[in-house]
Amino acid sequence: MADWLEQEATLRRVAAFGLPGQAGATDPRSVPPEEWPILLARLAGRRLTGMAVAAVEEGWLSLSGQQTEELLESQRELMLQALAMERKLLVLDEAFGRAGVDFILLKGSALAHSVYPDPSWRPFGDLDLMVRTRDWRQACSVLERFGLPRKLPEPRPGFDERFGKASVHGGNGDVEVDLHRTLVLGPFGLWLDPEALFGLTVPLSLGGRTLRRLDDTALLLHACMHASLGSRPPLLLPLRDVAQIAYYGEVDWSTLGELAARWRLGAVIRHALQATSDSLGITLPLQSKTCMEMKVRRKERGALDAYVTSRRGQGGTAISTLKAIPGVRAKLAYLRAMLTPDREFLLARTEGNGRASYARRWSIPLRWMAKRGR
Amino acid sequence: MISLRRSPGVLSRRVGRDVLLAPPESEDFERLSETAASAWELLESPRTVSELIETLAALYEVTPATIALDVERLVEELLRRGAIERVGHSNG
């Protein structure tokens, strides 16, 4: 247990490597041989190998020659994966252009080529592209034409455009594309205006092509959403993204506050900034103080709790989504899709294990209720 | 004078002292080891072959003559694979 905790501390140190505002010891940490295989697997699993390599180069992490070689091999694998995805991205950019579909490059690749000192610091496991809702179907068709069909059908026809966040596309290769129409599933995704994000972009040059990514302020907004709402507890890499943009991005903090107020994201941003500071053991730039002290409405706090508390595993996000959907008819449509989705959707959810059944589907909310009753 | 520079369509990543390349119109990846990786890094801005040889010689503290042949071979290889391209005009 002590080893595990010490490894956790090392992972956090690696995730904070090179950031200003760090408190505490910065002596090089060496890794005992018996701990190394697990630590390496955890570094790779959390996609922190790029920062670990940089930490070794700076003498901040002390590894043996063999350990360094294994770290580099692991990083090489992740970088080959990133290059394969970016190669596909360039092909898709051309295809989307021909189809007249604008897209914004989100997360991994966009962060790697903008706010980090070197793209190798920021591995990523998929491509995240955001399109306008009106272009959604056409974008799905483009991906299918390029051997990237949807992995999971939507619960009912039209569900994605009304309530969905993204569809996951992948083929036989190792490239996976998340096609977004908003930034997050649930109330926060419904409250923000995805169309407005297309006005908050800047060019990004990659492989001789000019793509679009979110500007640094919107990039931080999205990084905060991903850090707070993506996993519970927040993962180290998304927290590092928050710190990286906060320190090195050209963030307009007052615009960030305005966007947060307009899209009810104050609680999310505050939570992400606090989690970043606590987990990485750093003090964030002074300008972030205004966002840390933002007034948050009860409704926002309640919606955030559905992601960051035990409610998450008890249907919290589905219930808060239902609350956030405006109008009775739309709420009923959402409920209907959740409770009686198409058979094709049910079948895909079983992943080949068992029969598609409504009884099984309905047992999920019953289990949530039982958990809540305990 | 003809200079060389990285092809804009090439994607790359540094891994330790090596550089991984994903040249355009290819399914393969290239791995450039230390000296070749340094040459690649230097070609972020256009340089002639002579300039490249001189800069690398200074970097590795050897005489230009020692590495000239290796650098010329590397340049030919990178050109063949589409990783770098020629820019500028010949004087004559």
Question: What tens digit of pLDDT does each residue of A300-334 get?
Answer: 998 999 888 887 777 778 888 888 899 999 899 88
Identify which has the larger pLDDT, A6 or B8: B8
* pLDDT at residue B46 is higher than 60: yes
* pLDDT at residue A17 is higher than 80: yes
> What phi and psi values does residue B21 have, to the nearest 5 degrees?
-120, 145
Average pLDDT, chain B: 89
Residues of A in contact with B18 (CB under 8 A): 72, 76
User: Which A residues in the span 220-239 are in contact with B, Cβ-Cβ below 8 Å?
Assistant: none
Q: How far is CA A189 from CA A92, A166, A192, in A?
A: 25, 11, 6
Tokens of A177: 């594309």
Task: Please give the pLDDT value at position A2.
Answer: 55
Task: Please give the pLDDT value at position A324.
Answer: 87
pLDDT interval class at A198 (50, 70, 90): very high
What would the pLDDT profile of A262-295 be if each residue is shown by its tens digit? Answer: 999 999 999 999 999 999 999 999 999 988 888 8
Ordered DSSP codes for A76-145: HHHHHHHHHHHHHHHHHHHHHHHHT--EEEEHHHHHHTTTSSSGGG---SSEEEEE-GGGHHHHHHHHHH
**Strand A127-131, strand A103-106: pairing:** antiparallel
Residues of A in contact with B33 (CB under 8 A): none
pLDDT interval class at B91 (50, 70, 90): very low
A80 touches chain B (CB under 8 A): yes
* pLDDT at residue A24 is higher than 70: no
What would the pLDDT profile of A93-106 be if each residue is shown by its tens digit? Answer: 999 999 999 999 99
Task: Please give the pLDDT value at position A27.
Answer: 66
Q: How far is CA A141 from CA A90, A213, A319, B67, in A?
A: 17, 22, 31, 52
For residues A252 and A37, give the distance between their C-alpha atoms in angstroms, rounded to a whole number. 42
pLDDT interval class at A80 (50, 70, 90): very high
Tell me the torsion sign for CA atoms A181, A183, A184, A190. Answer: negative
Task: Please give the pLDDT value at position A29.
Answer: 75
Side-chain half-sphere CA neighbours of A148 within 13 A: 24
* pLDDT at residue A353 is higher than 70: no
Nearest by CB to residue A83, choosing from B7, B9, B20, is: B20
Q: What share of chain B is helix, strand, coil (3-state, %, to 5)?
A: 40, 25, 35
- Interface confidence (ipTM) of the complex: 0.88
B83, closest residue in chain A (CA to CA):
A207
Average pLDDT, chain A: 90
**Contact by Cβ (8 Å): B1, B91:** yes
